[in-house]
Amino acid sequence: MPERTDLSALVVGHTAAIEMINSGDAGIPVLTHLLRVARSALGAAGTAFVEFTPTGGRVIAATGAAEWAVGRPVPADDPATVCLLSGDRVRQVRTDEITGRLAGELAERGLLRMVVARAEIGARTVGSLHVFHPDSDDPPDAGQHAVVNYMASCIAHLYGDRTGLPVHGDGPVVAALADGLAVVDRDAHVRLWNPAAAQVTGRCAAQALNRPLPFPLPPSGQVLDHRLPDGRWIKVTSGELPGPGALRVVTFRDITDQQRRDHDRDLFVAVTSHELRTPVTVIKGYADTLTDHWESLTETDRRQAARVIGQRANELARLVDRLLSSAAEAGPGDEPAAPYDLGGALRTAAADLPAELRQRLVLQFPADLPKALGHRASLATVLTELCTNAGKYSPPGSLIEVTAGADGSTVSFQVGDRGVGIRPEHVERAFDRFWQGESGDRRRYPGAGLGLYLVRRIVEQQDGWVSLRPRAGGGTVAEVRLPRG
C-alpha cells in the first residue's frame, strides 16, 4: 500500500466523472470510471462494485486484477455477503480469513487484503465498493479508508439520482419500505406527510408540506395506479376524514414489481405470438404451394421449398424450446454436477449448430484445457444461444470465434463476434428477460429477447457466471466461467 493517497489523481478523476455526468453519461460507464479513479488514487491492484438486490448481489463493474469477477453473482447466504452487510461501514478484511467461494478465489489470485465500504442511502445498503491489495503487514490506513468511504458515497449518490442505476430491475432504491400516508385539505394541499411517503416518492416533508399533492388524487373510496416521473408505479387510495375541514387521507405504496410482473406476462404473450407467427406463416405458405402446385413446380423449386420448410421448422423448434424453458425457469434440476471435457463438449455442440453458423465458427482451445464441473448436456444450449446471438448482431459471413482457457479455480470459454457491439451500460441489461438492445428495430434483429436470460440461468445453476464486454476492434465478447473439475 502506498504511504499516502494520490490526492491529485483523486481530484482529477472525480472531476472527469462529474464532466461525464454533465455530458449525459450514466450508469456503468461512470461507475467504472470511479472504480478506476479509486484504484489509481489508492495504488490498488483492483477494484469492484457489488450491487445488492433483495435476493443477493452481483459484481456489476470491476477494474484491474478484479476484472474477471464482472457478472459474478454474490449469493445472499454467502459468508462474504453477510460480512459486508454487517459491522462497520468501512473496514479492512483479509480474504483468506473469510469462508465462501468468492473469497477463496480472491485469495487464490493474491488479492488477500480488501478494504470495503458500503454504499448507503439513508439506512439502506445499495451496494459495496471493494478495493483489493496484495498481501501486506501494513496496518489499516485511516486516510485511505476515508477515501474508500467517500468514493462509496459518490456511487450511492448516483443511485439516489437514478443516473443509470440500478442496473437490475429488482435492484435497490426501487421499492417502498412501507405505505406512504398523507393528509390533504379541500384544495389537495398536503398537511401531513409521513416518513414512508418521503421514501416512496423521493420528496421530503419540506418539499411536500403546504404544496399540491405530487400525483393525482382519486375520488374517495377509489383506487388509482399512477406512474411517477422516475418510472416507478404507485397505487393510490383516498378517503374522507370525519370532522370539519374537509380533510382527506391518502395512502400510497410502490407497486413497481407488480407492474413489472404484469408487463412481463403481457410481453411474453405478445412476443410469443409475434415470434411464432412468422415461421408458422412461412411453413404454411410453402406447404400449401407444394400441395396445390406440385405438378407444375420444377424439381429445383420443390427442393427449395422443402429446404425453407426445414429451416423454418428448425427455427420454430428452437424458439419453442426457448419459450418453454423460460416459462418453466428450466435448468439442470437435481442432476449432480460432474467433471467433463469442456473442449470436447464445445466441439460436439458446435457440430450441431445450424449450417450458416457452423461455417462461420473458428474454434481455438488449448490442448491441456482442464475439465469443467457441471452439466455437460446443458452446454449445447449455452453455446447455441451465444453463437446465435453473435450471428444475429454481426454481418453475414463474418467470423465467430470460440476460445477457451483456465485459471486456478475456473475454466472458461468466450464467444466473440465482429458485429455492432454492445454499449457498456447494456452489458447487464442484456441478460434481462425480453430485453433487446435494438428492440426498436425488430425487423433487423428479430428475436424474443430470451437467449441470454436462459444462458445466465443455466450457467449460474452450475455455480458459474457469464458476462458481456465490448470486443477490441468492434463487436462483442460473451464469456462463460465454470468451476474447474
| Mean pLDDT rounded to a whole number for the chain | 81
50 pLDDT tier (thresholds 50, 70, 90): very high
What value does the mean pLDDT take over residues 76-92?
73
Same structural domain, 247 and 264: no
215 lies in a domain? yes
Question: According to the model, what pLDDT value does residue 319 have?
Answer: 66
Q: Report how far apart the first and last C-alpha atoms of the chain are (Å, whole number).
A: 35
**Domain-located, residue 174:** no
Average pLDDT over residues 159-181: 64
Looking at per-residue pLDDT, the higher value among 412 and 309 belongs to: 412
Please check whether residues 66 and 210 belong to one and the same domain. Answer: no
Q: What is the CATH number of the domain that holds 241?
A: 3.30.450.20
Q: Which triple of cell numbers denotes residue 299?
A: 424439381
Residue 239 clears pLDDT 60, i.e. is over it: yes
Answer yes or no: is 189 within a domain. yes
User: Are 48 and 139 found together in one domain?
Assistant: yes
Residue 28 located in a structural domain: yes
Q: pLDDT tens for residues 322-342?
A: 666 555 544 555 568 899 999
pLDDT band at 216 (very low <50, low <70, confident <90, very high): very high
Per-residue model confidence (pLDDT) at position 449: 63
Give me 32's grid cell.
Answer: 467504472
Say which residue, 250 or 231, is predicted with more confidence.
250
Give residue 214's pLDDT: 92
* Per-residue pLDDT, 418: 94
pLDDT for the residue numbered 455: 86
Of 161 and 177, the structure prediction assigns the larger pLDDT to: 161
**Could you tell me if 64 and 46 are in contact, meaning their C-beta atoms sit under 8 angstroms apart?**
yes
Higher-confidence position of 293 and 220: 293
What pLDDT score does 430 carry?
86
Q: Is 15 in the same domain as 84?
A: yes
- Residues 159-182, mean pLDDT to the nearest whole number: 65
Closest CA to 61 of 482, 342, 468: 468
Q: How many domains does the chain have?
A: 4
Give the pLDDT confidence score for residue 342 in this predicted structure.
95
Whether 34 and 46 share a structural domain: yes
**Is residue 33 located within the same domain as residue 146?**
yes
Range with top average pLDDT, 125-139, 307-321, 471-485: 471-485
What three-state secondary structure class fits 109? coil
Assigned domain for 127 exists: yes
Secondary structure in 3-state letters for 227-278: ECCCCCEEEEEEEECCCCCCCEEEEEEECHHHHHHHHHHHHHHHHHHHHHHH
Give the number of other Cβ atoms within 10 Å of residue 354's Cβ.
15
Residue 265 lies in a domain: yes
Above 90 in pLDDT, residue 411?
Answer: yes
Give which of 315, 337, 342, 464 is closest to 403, Cα–Cα: 342
Same domain, 155 and 292: no
Which range among 89-103, 174-188, 295-309, 365-379 shows the weakest confidence by mean pLDDT? 174-188
Whether residues 279 and 423 fall in one domain:
no
Are the CB atoms for 246 and 186 separated by under 8 Å?
Answer: yes
Same domain, 428 and 300: no
pLDDT tens-digit series, residues 431-449: 887 666 654 444 444 555 6
C-alpha cell at 358: 457452423
Range in 71-80, 442-451, 461-470 with the lowest mean pLDDT = 442-451
CATH number of 416's domain: 3.30.565.10
**Across-strand partners of 476?**
470
Q: Pick the last residue of a domain from 233, 254, 275.
A: 254
- Only one residue has cell 459518490, namely 154
306 and 355 in a single domain? The answer is no
* The last residue of a domain, from among 206, 231, 254: 254
Percent of the residues in the chain that have a pLDDT greater than 90, as a whole number: 27
Alpha carbon 298 to chain centroid, angstroms: 52
> Does residue 171 form part of some domain?
no
Is the bond into 336 cis (omega within 30 degrees of 0)? no
Do residues 74 and 48 lie in contact, with contact meaning Cβ atoms separated by under 8 Å? no
pLDDT at 102 over 70: yes
* Residue 166 placed within a domain: no
Residue 246 sits in the same domain as residue 265: no
Domain enclosing residue 274, as ranges: 258-328
Per-residue pLDDT tens digits for 13-49: 889 988 888 888 888 999 999 999 999 999 999 999 9
CA distances from 249 to 193, 194, 239, 245, 369 (A): 10, 12, 5, 12, 67
The secondary structure element, H or E, covering residue 377 is helix 376-392
Q: Is there a single domain that holds both residue 25 and residue 122?
A: yes
Instruction: Name the least confident of 86-100, 121-135, 306-320, 415-429.
Output: 306-320
Q: How confident is the model at residue 144 (pLDDT cuts 50, 70, 90)?
A: confident
The reported pLDDT for the residue numbered 324 is 62
Range in 212-226, 322-336, 344-358, 442-456 the model is least confident about? 322-336
3 state SS of 99: coil
pLDDT higher for 25 or 282?
25
CA distance 8 to 118: 24
Q: Write down the pTM of the prediction.
A: 0.63
Residue 274 pLDDT exceeds 80:
no
3-state helix, strand, coil in the chain (%, to 5): 40, 25, 35
Q: How far apart are CA 467 and CA 386, in angstroms?
A: 11
Q: Considering 328, 346, 376, which residue would you say is the last residue of a domain?
A: 328
